[in-house]
Amino acid sequence: MRVLVTGGAGFIGSHVVDRLMDQGHEVVCYDNLSSGKREFIAQHLQKPEFRFLEADLLDMARLNKAMEDVDTVYHIAANPDVKVGAVDTSVHLQQNIIATYNVLEAMRRCGVKNILFTSTSTVYGDAKVIPTPEDYGPLVPISLYGASKLGCEALITAYAHTFDMRCAIFRFANIVGERSTHGVIYDFINKLRKNPEKLEILGDGTQCKSYCHIKDCVDAMFFAWEKQNQDVGIYNIGSEDYITVKEIADIVVEEMQLKNVEYQFTGGVDGGRGWKGDVKVMRLSIEKLKRMGWKPTYNSGEAVRHTTRVMLRDKKMKCD
């Protein structure tokens, strides 16, 4: 197949590109490098079956051109910063919703029928059912990021029904692993490298969430798409447990071999959240994928510890 991967030079996107290349597909990587890194796809740049386009999804002319002769789209590009929505309310509208609309329009114009979309657990908001299944509702996101992803999901399913497309929507827990460039582990390591005696922790430290290793995440995506037998599929991807922010801090401190680190909790907002829009407790039900035959190999603690070790070995990771 000829596959277009939006955000293909990013954390998750580059791992998807690796898997597609391993399977022998022709891959077009479309990324504006706002958060992606050329080094994540460097191993493919000279391969004849790989093409990298440094371009923005808001550029319809280039997107339409890139979509020609494509069989399947992995739409991974997005602004992943949940916190930024409270500061700049237009970011997630433009970079998530409008960008997704542009992808779907380019697909419609070029006759592309398959799309896989990376969504998020934040579409559920403060779910009253934990673990939260895919059919939980009503969906009431509490962040503009979650709202934008839910809007993208609605556009994709509507296009699928209206224009005879096939789609898979993946609602992720917190995905961690090699090439991760943001998130709590990344932040903790940076903070402790600057000051190994004190660690600021946003919120009250009791925020409790599921963490999924990138290998498990990509395995689940490809597994679900292969097994899917309907036009629209929605799947939670996560681990079978969760972990608190304080426990993550303990793992990072231990792996950095630090002693007597003083934790300074900010107290947070709205009952100990790290920021406005932060979901305090999140664990996704993955029973749907388990019934299909998939299950994760890492639990949350193992995923966090493995990621911490990888980041500490990466000499290129520098303090902000």
- In a shared domain, residues 108 and 153: yes
- Mean pLDDT taken over the chain: 95
- In a shared domain, residues 135 and 43: yes
**pLDDT tens-digit map of 13-51:** 999 999 999 999 999 999 999 999 999 999 999 999 999
- In a shared domain, residues 196 and 131: no
- In a shared domain, residues 190 and 170: no
Q: What is the pLDDT averaged over residues 147-163?
A: 98
Task: Name the range with the highest mean pLDDT among 197-211, 270-284, 302-316.
Answer: 197-211
- Given the residues 30, 74, 145, 211, the one annotated as active site: 145
Give domain status of residue 320, yes or no.
no
Give domain status of residue 166, yes or no.
yes
- In a shared domain, residues 222 and 277: no
- In a shared domain, residues 231 and 246: no
Active site residue 145: yes
- In a shared domain, residues 279 and 155: no
**pLDDT tens-digit map of 93-103:** 999 999 999 99
Determine the Cα–Cα distance for residues 148 and 122; give it in Å rounded to an integer: 10
- In a shared domain, residues 101 and 217: yes
Q: What is the pLDDT of residue 320?
A: 42
pTM, two decimal places: 0.95
Give domain status of residue 318, yes or no.
no
- What residue numbers bound the domain in which 307 lies? 177-210+241-313
CATH of the domain at 282: 3.90.25.10
- In a shared domain, residues 231 and 140: yes
- In a shared domain, residues 78 and 226: yes
Asked whether the CA dihedral 248, 249, 250, 252 is positive or negative, the reply is positive
